[in-house]
Structure 1
Amino acid sequence: MSLLLILTLPVALASMPQEGSTASPGGDVDDRLDFLEQRIRGLEEDRSRLETELEAAMDALAVGEVVGSVATEVAGDDRTRAIWERLAQRTLAPRAAAVYSRDGISIGGYGEFLGEVIDESDRDSFDALRWVMYLGSRFSDRWIFNSEIEIEHGSTDASSATTDSRGSVSIEFAYLDHLLTDDVALRGGVLLVPLGFINERHEPTTFLPSARPETETRIIPSTWRATGVGGYGQVGPFAWTAYALNGLNGEEFDENGLRGGRQKGNRASIESIALAARLDYVDVPGLVLGLSAYTGDAGVNTPESLNTTIVDLHGEWNEGPWFLRGLFAMSDVTGTGAFNARTGESLAEEMQGWYVEAGFDLLSLGTAPGEETLDLFVRYEDIDTQKTLAPGTAPGGGIVTSLTTVGLNYRPLNQVVLKADYTFIDESNDVARFLIGYAF
């Protein structure tokens, strides 16, 4: 007999009819026993009902605890995801940063198909310029892996009728991120050097013309990746990035810029460690103002010490139908006199370049703001890869010119872009370009 029945039995006994009671006619023992059995059965029914209600209440309480636990976990996960997005979106293009807002495996990418018609030339072409895949995984709230694999020019064969150059397959970046605090994350692997605009954010939907600026190709040698470790985060209104990286290979520098010095993560020499850092003011929506710098000895395979420093100032404003962007970059390389005497190159001590770019969404004149845009744009650029030469160095060819690009950038969707533009180049052949691009 259950505890409940034992506790209630005295009540039943107390309520039994006594001799002479009208509740038990005749007052015999059988009637009293029948009455007692009925009371016991009633108490058992009450006990069963109370047990059922108690079980239901306990189940409801357990479900509430589970729901509360899940809700707390989801809220915590959403909070961590928001922190990742706030920090990482400063260091990557939008689709490259998608892994920070997704669970588990993340796949994305972008592509560019570029047509070029060069004035007074037989080298007109249509190129599978870039095919890129992003692959990442969110291991936990605190650990994320992210990578970019790129195929350039459609093939690694020397199959072109317009150039002897081959295409390539490369890892553009591949790293692990660890969220240390709400404002600091650590990163290690193959990293994008945090200089300029294009090097970290080079999806075709993130800039207006078909071609990347020469300044961010030759002085800031985009796409520039290096093996290293570091961190990034935000302090008040400022976003920052700081890395220790493998240095450039100065043996491959020339009069056209520093692009050949990238080691690209291919058993990169770490005989000399370089430092790169970036600081941006990001407190006003749509506005970015900042500077970045790189310094390190690039003489890893040379008898000369080629200490290389690159500095840039940059700004961008994107508000309503307007898009404005500007950048100034310069480099300084020591030891170029001895290097040029040994190699016969005309590597400059100083290189300098800058550009300004402006676009206006024509569709904003007749419709409400939406996903579809048609930007009329212009970019003016000046670059000099022979700015200052060491005494005794004869001027080489180099890139000393100004470029003016005008065109249209049409985005029917955020993920798709069609571009058409024309570039006027001082003392060189003008170029008409059209581009089909996507990002997902």
Structure 2
Amino acid sequence: MKKLTTALSLVAVMAISTQAATLEERVKALEEQNTVLTEEVLASQSAGFTLVDSEKTFNGMGPAASKVYFSDNPLSIGGYGEMFYANPDNGDDFADVYRFITYFGYKFNDWVVLNAEIEFEHGANADKGGEVVVEFLYLDFLLSNEFSLRAGHVLVPMGLINLRHEPTLFNTVQRPEIERQLIPSTWHENGVLAYGRFDDLGIEYTAGIVNALNVNNSKTTTPKTGWIRSGRLGSSKNASFEPAFVGRVDYTGVNGLIMGASAYYGEGSNLKNDDANDVDGLTTAMFDIHARYENGPLAAYGLYTQTTLDGAEKLSSNAAEKASGYYGNISYDLGGLLGVEYKMPVFAQYENYNPVEKTVDGQNEDAFETETVTIGFNFFPTKQTVIKVDYEMNDVNSQETNTLSVGLGFIF
């Protein structure tokens, strides 16, 4: 009798366990269905457009720029914006409607995708320094996870900010100056790129041909800070085209960590119908080593970059030959410590760079040596919106400037 009772008890326990497992599976399935239904309801409330997911990115780009790749609707519309107020201690305070960007994406089918970014800068008032620019406009041919092609007007895959330049992705009100002057973000050129990902290895890559920088300009020969940045040709009408190589490799095999390197090499003189000023034997080489890490409330990112101009002596006796610099940014989210649901990181950033580190004649090499410390605070009312406050202490060749800035940013 005892054996029978024991056997019946075991059968009952197994039945209950099976039922529990089945119930658990059914609950999981219902949760998945609820997620799908919620997304469909949200999509119907937003005229069928996909809402931005701040956790999803494609090929290293920002979440809003990546929307089309995750959209159930063929048409995707997104964008971002940033505005700021600045009060430097050596001049008048000012405010700027800095950028408003629209992304338009369209899926022709499951492997041919259009993606475009149109920027309205400084209010887009040309009489007051504003402009409207196509920052990328390309077709993606999604052949496989390991190999796809991108052709058109593309973002040059260098550094951290150039691909991920949406304001919710960096802490400071302004982008790091190194990623404006040494890596001239936003850097976009005509070209063709191959890219892919090897999941088993945790490796992502991009490589291809883009239009070369034209550093055969007055800021190189003078020299001045913006000699690299002034070399961008972008989406200008009838732009000359000189092919340059660009490549990038990132390792993502450790949770929360992205680390890698980028390289660029091309002709330094990219002029059109100007044989009198064109210079042969001028080449520009650029590389960077970058990393980004997130672990709970702690986050950090930074890079080192260097650019050399071979043949600079052909431009002038005091032309710029080399630029280099590095920066690091570390932050800690106070939201958890304060017991609130909002993301509230405090941060510190250090930049050290010289855009004219070396000249042909060795003169004025300290004139633009820059060291900047920035401390600040971000508040995210939602994952897609941010309020920024920072205080920047800038030292250029022992000339100090301190600036208090407040910024607003959003993605959609």
Structure 1 distance, partners of 2:163, 2:402, is 28
* Percent of pairs with identical residues: 35
CA deviation after TM superposition for structure 1 residue 107, in Å: 0.2
CA deviation after TM superposition for structure 1 residue 195, in Å: 0.5
1:402 equivalent in structure 2: 371
TM-score between the two structures when normalised by the length of structure 1: 0.75
Pair 1:152 & 2:121 matched = yes
The aligned runs of 1:21-420 (5 Å cut-off) are 89-102=58-71, 103-122=73-92, 124-159=93-128, 166-235=129-198, 236-252=201-217, 253-254=219-220, 255-257=224-226, 258-266=228-236, 267-270=238-241, 272-301=242-271, 302-341=278-317, 346-367=318-339, 370=341, 372-390=342-360, 392=361, 394-395=363-364, 399-420=368-389
Does structure 2 conserve the Cα–Cα contact (< 8 Å) formed by 1:187 and 1:231?
yes
Question: Secondary structure of 1:251's partner?
Answer: coil
Structure 2 distance, partners of 1:268, 1:86, is 37
Does structure 1 conserve the Cα–Cα contact (< 8 Å) formed by 2:377 and 2:389?
yes
Does structure 2 conserve the Cα–Cα contact (< 8 Å) formed by 1:214 and 1:383?
no
Structure 1 distance, partners of 2:300, 2:57, is 23
Structure 1: which 5+ runs fail to align?
1-73, 75-84, 160-165
Q: How many positions carry a matched residue from both structures?
A: 342
Higher helix share: 1
Structure 2: which 5+ runs fail to align?
1-35, 37-53, 272-277
Structure 1 distance, partners of 2:90, 2:322, is 32
CA deviation after TM superposition for structure 1 residue 393, in Å: 5.3
Question: Secondary structure of 1:395's partner?
Answer: coil
Does structure 2 conserve the Cα–Cα contact (< 8 Å) formed by 1:227 and 1:268?
no
Q: Which amino acid aligns with 1:295?
A: Y
CA deviation after TM superposition for structure 1 residue 214, in Å: 1.2
The worse-fitting range, judged by mean Cα deviation, of 395-404 and 261-270 is: 395-404
TM-score between the two structures when normalised by the length of structure 2: 0.79
Q: Which amino acid aligns with 1:242?
A: A
Q: Which amino acid aligns with 1:409?
A: N
CA deviation after TM superposition for structure 1 residue 158, in Å: 2.8
Residues 76-107 of structure 1, C-alpha deviations (whole Å, 9 max, x = no match): xxxxxxxxx99962331111000001121000
CA-atom RMSD in angstroms: 2.0
Structure 2 distance, partners of 1:92, 1:220, is 16
Does structure 2 conserve the Cα–Cα contact (< 8 Å) formed by 1:133 and 1:149?
yes
Structure 2 distance, partners of 1:207, 1:133, is 19
Residues 265-287 of structure 1, C-alpha deviations (whole Å, 9 max, x = no match): 213322x2101110000112210
Does structure 1 conserve the Cα–Cα contact (< 8 Å) formed by 2:284 and 2:310?
yes
Question: Secondary structure of 2:400's partner?
Answer: coil
Residues 319-358 of structure 1, C-alpha deviations (whole Å, 9 max, x = no match): 11011111000001012122124xxxx5421101100100
Structure 2 distance, partners of 1:300, 1:202, is 26
Does structure 2 conserve the Cα–Cα contact (< 8 Å) formed by 1:87 and 1:233?
no
Structure 1 distance, partners of 2:370, 2:247, is 29
Structure 2 distance, partners of 1:196, 1:347, is 25
2:49 equivalent in structure 1: none
Residues 346-404 of structure 1, C-alpha deviations (whole Å, 9 max, x = no match): 54211011001000001111327x5x2111100000010121221x3532785311000
Question: Secondary structure of 1:289's partner?
Answer: strand
Does structure 1 conserve the Cα–Cα contact (< 8 Å) formed by 2:133 and 2:235?
no
CA 88–184 in structure 1, closer or farther in 2 if over 3 Å, else same: farther
Query: Considering only CA atoms, is the larger Rg found in Structure 1 or Structure 2?
Result: 1
1:438 equivalent in structure 2: 410
Residues 235-280 of structure 1, C-alpha deviations (whole Å, 9 max, x = no match): 221100112011111223432130000001213322x210111000
Structure 2 distance, partners of 1:358, 1:200, is 20
Does structure 1 conserve the Cα–Cα contact (< 8 Å) formed by 2:371 and 2:394?
yes
